[in-house]
Amino acid sequence: MPDALLEGRELVKRFGKDEALRGISIEVARGEVVAVLGPSGSGKSTLLHCLAGIFRPDDGQVLVDGRRIDDKSEAARSTLRRERFGLVFQFGQLVPELTALENVSLPLRLTGSGREKAEAAAHDWLGRMELQDVSRSYPGELAGGQAQRVAVARALIGEPDVIFADEPTGSLDSMNGERVMDLLTSAARERGAAVLMVTHDARVAAYAGREVVLADGRLATPVVAS
Amino acid sequence: MAVAETMLGLLEERPRHGYDLKQAYDRLFGERRPLRFGQIYATLARLDRDGLVRMEALEQEEGPERKRYGITAEGVADLDVYLREALDPKPGLHDELFTKVVLAITSGRDAGSLLQRQRSAHRSRMRELTASKRGADLLGVITADRDLFHLEADIRWIDLTEQRLDRLRKELTHA
C-alpha cells in the first residue's frame, strides 16, 4: 500500500506470559476506514493501543507516514497523539474536572488555540452531537450515551490525521450510533483521515471499507463468500 | 426453503421412501414448516426427472407399493454445491440457512466453513447497504435499515451457532 498513513509491522505484544499480539501486520491508507473484528480476547484493543502509541510493542514496528513511532519516547508519542491522532474509547475517558465544553475544547487548547476560539469550535461540535444543553455539565452528570458523544466530539475537533475508535458506538442508541459513524466516516471521506475502529457490532463494521479479523492474536485468513 | 435440496440431503444419508422422507424431514425441520405428502412425491418426481435421484426398489410388505429412492452422483454434486455456497444475503433467509447448517452436519460436511462463508457474504452485503444510505432519501434509508437489522440478527445467530457446532454435531449425529 504505497500511501499507507498508518502501518504496523509484525507487531508482538506480551502481558506477562500471555502473548496478546503474535506478529500482526496491518496498513491503513489515507481516507480509509478499517474495522478490526474478532472474538473477545483476540487482541483487537491491544492492536489499537499499540498502533496509537499508547502501548509499546515488544517486537515489530509502528509507522506513521513511513516514520517509526514505536521507538520514540513516551513524551514524543504523547505529542504525536495530541497533534495527529483522535482517540475514541467505549467509556468516554473524559476529564472529570472539566465541563463537556472544556473537554471538547481541550485538544485545541493543548495545541495552542486561544480559549475563545477553542470554545467556539467546541460549541459547534457539541451542536452537531445535539449536546448544546449539556455543555456546562461535568462528565459525572452526563448519561453514558452523552459522555460517549462528548468523547467523539473531543476526538474529532482537532481534525486528526488518524482516528482510533474502540467500540465507538458502544453506549449509544441506534440513532446516535449512526450519527457518530457518519461523523467518523465523513472525516475519512472529506478530509482523508485514516480511521481504525475496533467493534463487535456488524452494523458498525459495515461502515468500514475493509475489515480485518483477529483470532488469538493473529490475523485470521479472509473468507470469501463462495 | 429449499425442499428439493433438503430431500437430497436426507437421501444422501440413505435411500428412503416417501413416508420415511417425511418422518426424517419433520423431525429435523418440520416444527416450522411440516411437509405435505403431495409435496414430497411431486419433488421426488422432479428430482427423478432431472436425474438427481433414482428409484432403487419397489417394496410391498403390507398395504400399497412403496418406491424407495436413492441419490445419484449428479444429486450428490448438486448437494455439494448447495451446501458450499453462501446464500444471497437478504432478509428472511434464516429458515434456509438453518436447513443448510443441519444438512451440512448430518451429511458430515463442514458446517463451520459454511457459516464463515455466509457471514462473509452477509458483511459484504451490509457494507453495500450502509454505503447506499449515504445521499439516499429517508425512504431509502429506512429500507436499508430494515435489511441491515435483519442481516445483523442473522450474523448474531451465525456467531452463536458457530460456537455451538460441536455440541450440535453430537446431538444431531446421535439422534
pLDDT of residue A111: 86
- Answer yes or no: is pLDDT of B127 > 60: yes
Chain A's closest residue to B115, CA to CA, is A225
* Residue of A189 and B91 predicted with greater confidence: A189
State how far the Cα of A24 lies from the Cα of A12, in Å rounded to an integer. 7
Per DSSP, what are the bridge partners of residue A21? A13
Closest C-alpha among A123, A96, A155, A125 to residue A115 = A123
> Contact A208/B124, CB-based, under 8 Å?
no
Mean pLDDT over each residue of chain A, to the nearest integer: 91
- Answer yes or no: is pLDDT of A2 > 60: no
pLDDT of residue A59: 96
pLDDT of residue B1: 59
Report percent pLDDT > 90 for chain A. Answer: 71
pLDDT of residue B30: 74
Question: What's the mean pLDDT in A39-57?
Answer: 93
Is the Cβ–Cβ distance between A132 and A99 less than 8 Å? Answer: no
Chain A's closest residue to B149, CA to CA, is A203
Is the Cβ–Cβ distance between B144 and B135 less than 8 Å? Answer: no
* Span A123-153, pLDDT tens digits: 999 998 889 999 999 999 998 888 888 999 9
Q: Which helix (H) or strand (E) holds A6?
A: strand A4-15
Chain A's closest residue to B152, CA to CA, is A202
**Long-range contacts (CB closer than 8 Å, 24 or more residues apart) made by A132-139:** A134/A100, A135/A99, A135/A100, A135/A101, A136/A99, A136/A100, A136/A101, A137/A99, A137/A100, A138/A96, A138/A97, A138/A98, A138/A99, A138/A100, A139/A92, A139/A94, A139/A95, A139/A96, A139/A98, A139/A100, A139/A103
* Span B165-174, pLDDT tens digits: 999 999 888 7
Helix/strand/coil (H/E/C) assignment for every residue in A81-100: HHHHEEEECCCCCCCCCCCH
> Contact A203/B84, CB-based, under 8 Å?
no
pLDDT of residue A52: 95
> Contact A202/B152, CB-based, under 8 Å?
yes
- Cβ-nearest to A225 among B124, B148, B156: B124
- Hey, which residues 56-115 in chain A have their CB within 8 Å of chain B? none
Q: How many CB pairs under 8 A join A and B?
A: 45
* Span B34-84, pLDDT tens digits: 788 899 999 999 999 999 999 988 877 777 778 899 999 999 999 999 998
- Contacts with A225 from chain B: Cβ below 8 Å: 86, 117-118, 120-121, 124
Q: How confident is the model at residue A91 (pLDDT cuts 50, 70, 90)?
A: low
Lowest mean pLDDT among A45-49, A92-96, B133-137, B141-145: A92-96
> Contact B155/A209, CB-based, under 8 Å?
no
Helix axes A100-110 and A115-128, enclosed angle (nearest 10): 130
Question: What's the mean pLDDT in A48-55?
Answer: 95
> Contact B148/A203, CB-based, under 8 Å?
yes
pLDDT of residue A223: 63
> Contact A206/B129, CB-based, under 8 Å?
yes
**Strand duo A59-64 + A67-68: pairing:** antiparallel
Sign of the Cα pseudo-torsion (B137, B139, B142, B143, in order):
negative
Q: Which helix (H) or strand (E) holds A7?
A: strand A4-15
pLDDT of residue B105: 94
pLDDT of residue B15: 94
- Contacts with B120 from chain A: Cβ below 8 Å: 222-225
pLDDT of residue A144: 83
Set of cell numbers at residue B172:
444431531
Question: What's the mean pLDDT in A111-125?
Answer: 92
pLDDT of residue B29: 83
- Cβ-nearest to A225 among B120, B127, B130: B120
Chain B's closest residue to A33, CA to CA, is B127
B37 touches chain A (CB under 8 A): no
Q: How confident is the model at residue A92 (pLDDT cuts 50, 70, 90)?
A: low
Q: Which helix (H) or strand (E) holds A35?
A: strand A33-37
**Strand duo B66-71 + B16-17: pairing:** antiparallel
Question: What's the mean pLDDT in A22-36?
Answer: 95
Task: Give CA A170 to chain center in angstroms.
Answer: 13
B7 touches chain A (CB under 8 A): no
Residue among B93, B115, B130 with most chain A CBs within 10 A, to mutate: B130
A64 backbone dihedrals φ, ψ, rounded to 5°: -125, 125
Question: What's the mean pLDDT in A152-174?
Answer: 90
- Answer yes or no: is pLDDT of A222 > 80: no
State how far the Cα of A33 lies from the Cα of A210, in Å rounded to an integer. 7
pLDDT of residue A171: 76
**d(CA B9, nearest CA chain A) in Å:** 20
B122 touches chain A (CB under 8 A): yes
Mean pLDDT over each residue of chain B, to the nearest integer: 89
Our CA dihedral for A117, A123, A127, A130, rounded to 10 degrees, sits at 150
B116 touches chain A (CB under 8 A): yes
Q: How confident is the model at residue B158 (pLDDT cuts 50, 70, 90)?
A: very high
> Contact B123/A209, CB-based, under 8 Å?
no
